[in-house]
Structure 1
Amino acid sequence: MNMKAPRGTQDLLPGTTEKWQYVEAKFKDLCNRFNYSEIRTPIFEHTELFQRGVGDTTDIVQKEMYTFTDRGDRSLTLRPEGTASVVRAFVENKLFGLPSQPTKLFYFGPMFRYERPQQGRMRQFVQFGIEALGSADPAIDAEVISLAMSGYQELGLRSLKLVINSLGDSESRTNHRNALISHFEPHKEELCGDCQLRLEKNPLRILDCKKDSNHPAMETAPSILEYLNDESKLYFEAVKIHLDQMGIAYVVDKNLVRGLDYYNHTAFEIMSEAEGFGAITTLSGGGRYNGLVEDLGGPETPGIGFALSVERLLMALEAEGIELPLNNKLDCYFVALGEKASSEAVRLTYELRKAGIQVDKDYQDKKFKAQFKSADRLNAKYVLVLGDDEIENKIVNVKDMNSGEQEEVAFEQLVSYLQEVLRGGK
C-alpha cells in the first residue's frame, strides 16, 4: 500500500503555509486596489471546455490533462488552467449583462497537469490569475501587466524581466500562419512529430516547441511583427506607450507566442533573472484573447488576463534571499499550575478568543517550566500565569516576554488590559 502523497504533489505544512497566506493576502489587496473581484469556479469541468477553450493543438490538451469519466458516462477534466473556467462562468452567469463593465475578476486555486515533476513545476500547482472581460482598450492590457509587475515588486522581487509581443488580429495571424507554413514545409520531416501535426493545424505553436528550439529554421522563421496590419501595429504601439507612461520596462520578443490557442494581440511573460533560479525562468504569462467568449457561447466580448504560479513565485523570493515579514508571534499563552487553575484557564482562554485576542494554553498536563518553554517556542508576547494564589485572588499574573515585567490583572479586567497592551497602549 502506497501511503505517500502522489508524485507531483506536495504537503504544505505550518511554517510554509504562512508564506502562502502572505502572498495570497498581498495579491488580494492588490486586486482590491485595481478593482478586481474574486471568482471561484469548480475544480473539474466538462472536458469539451478545455478542448475548445484552451485548444486541441496545445500540449495541455493533447498530453497533460487529468481526464476521467464519471458514473453518468460524462467526460470530466481537472482544470489545467483558469481562464477557460472563468470565461465559462462569465457566459453561463451572463456577467456580460452587468451594468458596470468591463468585468474584472481574479482567482486563486489548484490546477492540474500531467507533467514531469521538477522544482517549481508540479502536477498539482496553485495559480493566481486575473481576467478583464469587456474592453478592447490597450490601456487595460497595460493595467493587467502593471498589476502583475506590482505584485512581484511589492513582495520585494527586483530581478525581473518583462517580455511582450503582439500576435495581431485575425487578419494578421492568418497572413502570418500562411507564411509559417511556407517556411516550415520544406523542413517538415526534420521536425518532431508534434510539430509536424502543428504545421497543419496551428503552425504558430511550432515557435513554442522545446524539442525543435535549436533547429536552424527557427532562427529564420518569419516574425508576426512583419505581418501586423496597421490596426494591430497601432494597438501594440498604444500598449507600449502606456507601459512607458507607467515607467514599466519591457523587451519586445518577436518569438513570444504563449502556449494556448486563444491568444491574440498582446502577449507577455514575466521572468526571473535571479542567479540560481533555474533553467525555467518564466514566473507568469498572459495576453489578450478576443474571440474566446464567443467560442464558449457568449456574445462578442474582448478579454485579457494573466496567471502566475505561486510555487514559482516563492522560488523566486528564495533565489533573491527575500524573507517575507511574517507575524509568527502568539499574543498570549496561559501557564496554569493545578487542576483549578487549568479549569479557569479554559474559561479565560475562551473569553479572550471571543474578544479577538490570539491565545493558546497547555493541553498535555505539562509541568510549570515546560509550559513556559512551550510559550517560548510559540513566540508568545505575553504569558498569563495562573496558580492557586491567583485563583484565590481572582487575578492573572501577566508577564511581558520582551521586557520581563509582570503585572497582576483582575479577571474582569483581563480582556481590556490585554487589548490595550497589544495595541501598544501601555
Structure 2
Amino acid sequence: MSIKAPRGTADLLPGTIEKWQFVEDKIKDVCERYHFKEIRTPLFEHTELFQRGVGDSTDIVQKEMYTFEDRGGRSLTLRPEGTASVARSFVEHKLFGNPNQPVKLYYFAPMFRYERPQKGRMRQLNQFGIEVLGSSNPAVDAEVIDLAMTVYSELGLRSLKLVINSLGDKESRDNHRQALVNHFEPHRDELCGDCQTRLRQNPLRVLDCKKDRDHPAMKTAPSILDYLNNESEKYFEDVKNYLTMMGIDYTVDKNLVRGLDYYNHTAFEIMSEAEGFGAITTLAGGGRYNGLIEELDGPSTPGIGFGMGMERLLMALEAEHREIDTNSNLDCFLVAVGEEASKKAVQLVHELRKNGIQADKDYLDRKMKAQFKAADRYQAKYVLIFGEDELSREVINVREMSTGNQNEVPLTQLIEHLQDTFSGGEKQ
C-alpha cells in the first residue's frame, strides 16, 4: 500500500505555494500599516489551556481536538485555534507590563481539528489571526474588523458580507441565558443531543446549532439585543458608529453567537457571497473576549481578535476569478558545453547568486538543445552560453530570450553587465 498524506491534510506544491506566499505578503503589509507585530506560538499546548481558554462545552474541546499523552504522562493537544495560545503567551511573558498598550499581535499558523473533511475545511487548516490585548475601547473593535475587510479588499474580493452582533457584558449574558433556558426547556426533548447538553452548559450556543437551525423554537428565541443593559447597548452603538464612519457596510444578525465560550460584546463574521463559492460561506470570524486572560490566571485584560482561514481565502479569490501574480521567471540560466565549461558554470552561478542575481544551470549533463528547452520551461529572461572556446577567451554570450538579441561579454564584466541591465527596468 502506498503511503499518502493523512485524510484532511494537503501538500502545498510549487506552482501553488507562490499564491500562498503572495497572499501572506499582502496580509503582512496590511498588518504593518496597522502597527501589528508577529507572534509565533508552539504547535501543541497543554490540553488544559484549551479546556479553560476555549471552553469545555464547545465542539472544539468535546469533539475536534487532537489530544495525546506524552511519555511523561502529560496531556497535550495540537493547537485547534490561535487565541488561547496567544493569551497564554501574553500571561506567561507578562506582556501586560509592556508600556506600549494595547499589545497588537498577528500570526500565521496551522491548526488541527478532527472533523469531516470537505472543500475548504481541513483537519490541518492554516489560519491568519490577530489579537489586540489591553483595550476595551469600541474603536479597537472597529479597527479589528477594518483590518480584516482591508485584507480582503486589497486582495481584490468584492462579494463580501459583514455580519455583527453584540453578546453583551456578563450581566446581559446572564439575563439572556436564563431567558434562553426558559424558552427552550419545553422543547428539550425535540432538540438534538448536543443542544440538550448545551442547554445546561451554555444555552447561547443552542442558537449556533446546525442540526436544529430550522426548529420553530429557533425562530422565536429571545434575542440578546433585547437583554443588553445600557452599558452594553451603548458599546454596540459605538462600534456600529465607528464602522459607519469608516464606510464599512454591515448587517446585524441577532443569532450570531460564534462557537467559543470566551466571547462577549462584539461578535462578527465575514462571508463570501460569490457565486459558486459553496454552502459554507464564512471566511473569517471573531469578537471580543474580555475575561479570557483572567481565566488563564492573568490580570484583568480586555481583548479582541479574529481568525481567517487561508484555504477559504484562496477559494474566495478563485470564485471571484481574481488572478494572483505568481511570476517566478528565472533571471539567468547557464548553458555550458564541455567538461571544463560545465565546471566553470558552478563557480559562475555561485558568483551571480552572491551578487543578488537569480541563476540556475543544468545538472543532468544534457545536450545544448535540451538545456535551452530547460531555460525556456523556467521562463528565464537571459541565457548565458559558453563552451570551451569562450572559456579559453574568458567571455560569455548573454542572450535575451524575449528578443533573441545576443552579446559577448567578458567574464570579468558579466555581473556588472547584468546588474546594469536589470537596473534599467528588466528586473523589478
Q: Residue 423 of structure 1: SS of its match in structure 2? A: helix
User: Which residue of 1 is the match for residue 251 of structure 2?
Assistant: 251
CA distance in 2, matches of 1:26, 1:239: 26
Q: How many residues align?
A: 426
User: Which stretch of the first structure deviates more once superposed, 41-50 or 400-409?
Assistant: 400-409
Q: 1:2: Cα distance to partner? A: 5.2
**Equivalent residue for 2:14?**
14
CA distance in 2 between counterparts of 1:230 and 1:131 reads 27
One-letter amino acid matched to 1:204: L
| Aligned equivalents of 1:424, 1:52: Cα separation in 2 | 59
Aligned equivalent of 1:304: 304
Give the Å deviation of 1:417.
Answer: 1.5
In structure 1, the partner of 2:177 is 177
State the AA in 1 paired with 2:368: F
Q: Give the CA deviation at 1:423.
A: 2.3
Q: Could you tell me whether the CA contact under 8 Å between 1:262 and 1:292 is conserved in 2?
A: yes
- For the pair 1:115 / 2:115, whether they are aligned, the reply is yes
- Where in structure 2 are the equivalents of 1:117-136 lying within 5 Å? 117-136=117-136
CA displacement, residues 340-396 of structure 1 (integer Å, 9 cap, x when unaligned): 111111001000101111111000011101111111101111111111221122111
One-letter amino acid of the structure 2 residue matched with residue 299 of structure 1? P
Corresponding position of 1:99: 99
Please give the secondary structure, in 2, of the residue aligned with 1:117: coil
Partner-residue secondary structure (3-state), 1:278: coil
2: CA distance between counterparts of 1:38 and 1:336?
A: 45
Partner of 2:87: 87
Match of 2:331, SS?
strand
Could you list the runs of 5+ residues in structure 2 that have no partner in the other structure? none
Mapping of 1:214-233 within 5 angstroms?
214-233=214-233
Q: Structure 1 residue 310: deviation in Å?
A: 0.5
1:251 Cα deviation after fit? 0.7
Do the aligned residues in 2 keep the contact of 1:395 with 1:411 (CA within 8 Å)? yes
What residue in structure 2 maps to residue 138 of structure 1?
A: 138
Aligned residue for 2:424, secondary structure, equals coil
Structure 1, unpaired ranges of 5+: none
Tell me which residue corresponds to 1:65. Answer: 65
1:346 matched to 2:346? The reply is: yes
CA distance in 2, matches of 1:393, 1:135: 70
Residue 424 of structure 1 and its aligned partner are, at CA, apart by 2.4
Contact 1:109/1:126, CA 8 A, preserved across alignment:
yes
Is it true that 1:334 corresponds to 2:334 in the alignment? yes
Question: 1:161 and 1:372, CA in 2 relative to 1: closer, same or farther beyond 3 A?
Answer: same
Q: Take 1:25 and 1:115, find their aligned partners in 2: how far apart are those partners? A: 29
CA displacement, residues 164-213 of structure 1 (integer Å, 9 cap, x when unaligned): 11110111101100100000000000000010010011000000000101
Match of 1:360 in 2: 360
Task: After TM superposition, give the deviation of residue 425 of structure 1 in Å.
Answer: 5.3
Question: Residue type matched to 1:363 in 2?
Answer: Y
Q: Runs of 4+ in structure 1 displaced over 6 angstroms? A: none
Query: Compared with structure 1, are the counterparts of its residues 266 and 425 closer, same or farther at alpha carbon in structure 2 (3 Å cutoff)?
Result: closer
Mapping for residues 43-54 of structure 1, pairs under 5 Å: 43-54=43-54
| 1:126-205 matches, cutoff 5 A | 126-205=126-205
Identify the residue that residue 409 of structure 2 maps to in structure 1: 409
Cα distance in 1 for residues equivalent to 2:366 and 2:141: 59
Residue number in structure 1 paired with 2:422: 422
Partners of 1:2 and 1:88 in 2: how far apart?
Answer: 40
The separation in 1 between residues aligned to 2:125 and 2:383, in whole angstroms, is 40
Amino acid aligned to 2:294: E
TM-score by length of 1: 0.99
AA partner of residue 221 (structure 2): A
Equivalent residue, structure 2, for 1:37:
37
Distance in 2 between residues matched to 1:418 and 1:327, nearest whole Å: 20
Give the stretch that moved more between structures: 289-298 or 409-418. Answer: 409-418
Amino acid at match of 1:290: N
State the one-letter code of the partner of 1:246: M
Q: Secondary structure at the match of 1:12?
A: coil
Aligned-residue Cα RMSD (Å) equals 0.9
1:325 shift after superposition: 1.4
Alpha-carbon separation, structure 1, partners of 2:165 and 2:420: 55
Instruction: Give the letter aligned to residue 3 of structure 2.
Output: M
CA distance in 2, matches of 1:166, 1:184: 21
The match for 1:397 is: 397
8 Å CA contact retained: 1:36, 1:106: yes
Deviates more, 1:118-127 or 1:413-422: 413-422
Task: Please tell me whether the aligned partners of residues 331 and 422 of structure 1 are also in contact (alpha carbons under 8 angstroms).
Answer: no
What is the CA distance between 1:406 and its match in structure 2? 1.1
SS in 1 for 2:271: strand
Distance, in Å, in 2 between the alignment partners of 1:31 and 1:141 is 15
Is 1:273 the counterpart of 2:273 in the alignment?
yes
Q: Counterpart in 1 of 2:238?
A: 238
**Counterpart Cα distance in 2 of 1:105 and 1:416:** 42
Amino acid at match of 2:105: L
Percent identity, aligned pairs only? Answer: 72
Identify if the C-alpha distance between structure 1 residues 425 and 108 changes in structure 2 by more than 3 Å, giving closer, same or farther.
Answer: closer
1:398-422 Cα shifts (integer Å, max 9, x gaps): 1111222111121121112112212
User: What letter matches 1:8 in structure 2?
Assistant: G
Residues of 1 paired with 2:200 and 2:122: CA distance? 31
Tell me how far apart the structure 2 counterparts of residues 123 and 106 of structure 1 sit (CA, whole Å). Answer: 22
Show the counterpart of 2:56: 56
Determine if contact 1:331/1:358 at 8 Å carries over to the other structure.
Answer: yes
> In 1, distance between residues paired with 2:224 and 2:396?
73
Q: Distance in 2 between matches of 1:407 and 1:330?
A: 19
Letter in 1 for 2:74: R
